[in-house]
């Protein structure tokens, strides 16, 4: 694809989040101002904005940022669009989760065209991992996503578990799967991961940590036509390889379901997954690596590939930090789900611009700083949606040039301190019970 057609495709996608013909099928009426295209674009602008407030989105609308999407009318032509956020908030509430999911799938399918097969593996490599998101303390949310508890009692914030699938090279994400982390309806990471498998490009390599290293999920990966690469816990590796498990090296194995798995999944009683067990020690890992894979490449290359799984940890940190998903602010289940989906779309847009900028510069996308590119896209957003095609193209080329220069610093020395989890420093105040006897 030449640069001109590439720019036109991405600019059209940025300016009109999904093809215009689809809006009529999903728009059920939102008045003169807050039609579905306008609301979705404002939600995206809010997520791409550094502050991320509804006021930012409304001010962008009043300032003419979305004039190309507005219907003609007295308020639009007279410049009398209200800057109060109430109308926008109500319009967001009218958009259903199903509509946002549909738009998310269409946009991510378009962005996934930038996911290319890895030359060494002749297929895309997708990284898989799970995380948790903190939710507001609201009655409806706590019913859908209960808070956890410990020795001190129940927690305060609701908690959502989600599973993400990202391209190893570009970081472009697929639509995640989510569910409650605690409570009677709690879901496991492997069960959520089975939902996202169908969204991976055909014939991908699925790379996951020990949380996904179970037979049921390995069989699902192979059943979808993908290749598997999972880390296993030591007990599971010993049970799988038995006496054939080497201290270092590899051995062929045929993974069969355990008695408990056969009882829980009777349809898989006779199933099996053929592959290899690789055992090795590597710098950066405290214990030995026990890897199961269906790939046929040399063991050294497979171990190096598994090391790339750490990129997804950085992606999740970016989503939760830079795109503010650490704590979702919606007060209802629908609100937080729409908030999360729009954030994934915004993240995918930034990653796509980064991938194109890196390809033009002849470097790897992972060498670019997401935070800097995210800020650049926000700064150039007005010009990228200008009605003047010449100004659009100039802004597009200049943006990619700036992104290509936004490289991560090179460390002259490795970190001098051990990796650890640092506290966020935010704690809900302890409960204080009144003592009626002292009153």
Domain ranges of the chain: 116-317
Instruction: Enumerate the H helices of 308-430 as residue ranges.
Output: 310-321, 333-361, 370-384, 389-404
The CB-side HSE value for 274 (13 A sphere, CA atoms) comes to: 1
Residue 192 is inside which H or E element, if any?
A: helix 189-196
The model's pLDDT over 262-273, given as tens digits with 9 standing for 90+, comes to 998 999 888 999
pLDDT for res 388: 81
Residue 11 has pLDDT above 80, yes or no: no
Whole-number Å distance between alpha carbons of 306 and 208: 8
> For the chain, how are helix, strand and coil distributed in percent, rounded to 5?
50, 15, 35
Q: What's the Cα-to-Cα distance from 425 to each of 76, 150, 152, 394, 422, rounded to whole Å?
A: 45, 19, 19, 44, 9
Quote the radius of gyration of the chain (alpha carbons, Å).
24
Distance of CA 57 to the CA centre of its chain: 23
pTM for the complete prediction?
Answer: 0.87
Place of tokens 């991908």: 204
Mean pLDDT of 343-366: 94
The model's pLDDT over 52-93, given as tens digits with 9 standing for 90+, comes to 889 988 988 888 777 777 777 777 766 778 889 999 999 999
Whole-number Å distance between alpha carbons of 146 and 417: 36
Contact, 175 vs 348, CB < 8 A?
Answer: no
Residue 59 is inside which H or E element, if any?
A: helix 54-62
pLDDT for res 379: 87
3-class DSSP state for residue 366? helix
| 123: DSSP letter | B
Pick from 24-28, 46-50, 113-117, 140-144: least confident: 24-28
| 114: DSSP letter | G
Residue 227 is inside which H or E element, if any?
A: strand 227-231
Q: What's the Cα-to-Cα distance from 360 to each of 370, 410, 438, rounded to whole Å?
A: 17, 21, 73
Whole-number Å distance between alpha carbons of 310 and 313: 5
Contacts of 86 (CB under 8 A, 6+ apart): none
Contact, 34 vs 75, CB < 8 A?
Answer: no
Residue 436: how many other CB atoms lie within 10 Å: 6
The model's pLDDT over 397-437, given as tens digits with 9 standing for 90+, comes to 999 999 999 999 887 666 555 555 556 555 555 655 555 44
Residue 46 has pLDDT above 50, yes or no: yes
Relative to beta strand 158-167, strand 273-280 is unpaired
Contacts of 159 (CB under 8 A, 6+ apart): 132, 133, 134, 135, 145, 146, 147, 148, 180, 181, 182
* Local confidence band at 175 (pLDDT 50, 70, 90 cut-offs): very high
Please tell me which residue, 82 or 367, carries the higher pLDDT value: 367
Contact, 327 vs 137, CB < 8 A?
Answer: no
Place of tokens 């990228």: 384
């Amino acid at each position: 694809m030449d640069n001109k057609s590439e720019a036109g495709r991405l600019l059209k996608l940025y300016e009109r989040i999904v093809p215009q013909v689809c809006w009529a099928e999903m728009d059920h009426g939102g008045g003169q101002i807050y039609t579905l295209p306008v609301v979705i674009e404002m939600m995206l602008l809010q997520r791409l904005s550094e502050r991320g407030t509804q006021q930012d989105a409304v001010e962008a609308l009043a300032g003419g940022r979305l004039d190309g999407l507005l219907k003609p009318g007295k308020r639009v032509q007279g410049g009398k669009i209200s800057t109060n956020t109430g109308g926008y908030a109500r319009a967001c509430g009218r958009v259903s989760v199903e509509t946002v999911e549909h738009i998310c799938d269409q946009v991510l399918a378009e962005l996934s065209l930038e996911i290319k097969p890895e030359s060494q593996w002749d297929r895309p490599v997708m990284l898989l991992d799970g995380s948790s998101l903190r939710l507001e303390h609201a009655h409806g949310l706590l019913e859908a996503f209960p808070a956890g508890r410990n020795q001190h009692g129940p927690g305060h914030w609701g908690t959502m578990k989600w599973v993400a699938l990202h391209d190893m090279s570009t970081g472009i994400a697929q639509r995640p799967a989510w569910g409650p982390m605690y409570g009677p309806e709690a879901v496991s990471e492997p069960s959520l991961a089975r939902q996202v498998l169908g969204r991976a490009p055909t014939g991908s390599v699925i790379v996951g940590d020990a949380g996904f290293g179970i037979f049921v999920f390995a069989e699902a990966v192979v059943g979808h036509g993908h290749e598997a690469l999972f880390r296993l816990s030591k007990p599971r590796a010993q049970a799988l390889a038995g006496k054939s498990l080497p201290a270092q090296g590899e051995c062929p194995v045929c993974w069969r379901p355990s008695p408990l798995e056969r009882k829980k999944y009777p349809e898989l009683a006779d199933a099996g997954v053929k592959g290899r067990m690789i055992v090795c020690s590597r710098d950066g890992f405290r214990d030995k690596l026990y890897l199961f894979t269906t790939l046929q490449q040399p063991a050294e290359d497979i171990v190096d590939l598994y090391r790339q799984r750490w990129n997804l940890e950085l992606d999740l940190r970016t989503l939760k930090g830079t795109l503010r998903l650490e704590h979702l602010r919606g007060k209802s289940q629908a609100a937080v789900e729409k908030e999360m989906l729009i954030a994934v779309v915004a993240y995918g847009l930034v990653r796509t611009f980064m991938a194109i900028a890196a390809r033009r510069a002849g470097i790897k996308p992972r060498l670019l700083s997401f935070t800097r590119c995210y800020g650049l896209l926000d700064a150039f957003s007005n010009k990228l949606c200008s009605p003047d095609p010449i100004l659009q193209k100039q802004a597009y080329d200049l943006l990619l040039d700036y992104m290509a220069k936004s490289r991560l610093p090179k460390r002259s020395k490795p970190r001098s301190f051990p990796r650890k989890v640092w506290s966020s420093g935010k704690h809900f105040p302890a409960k204080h019970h009144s003592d009626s006897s002292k009153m």
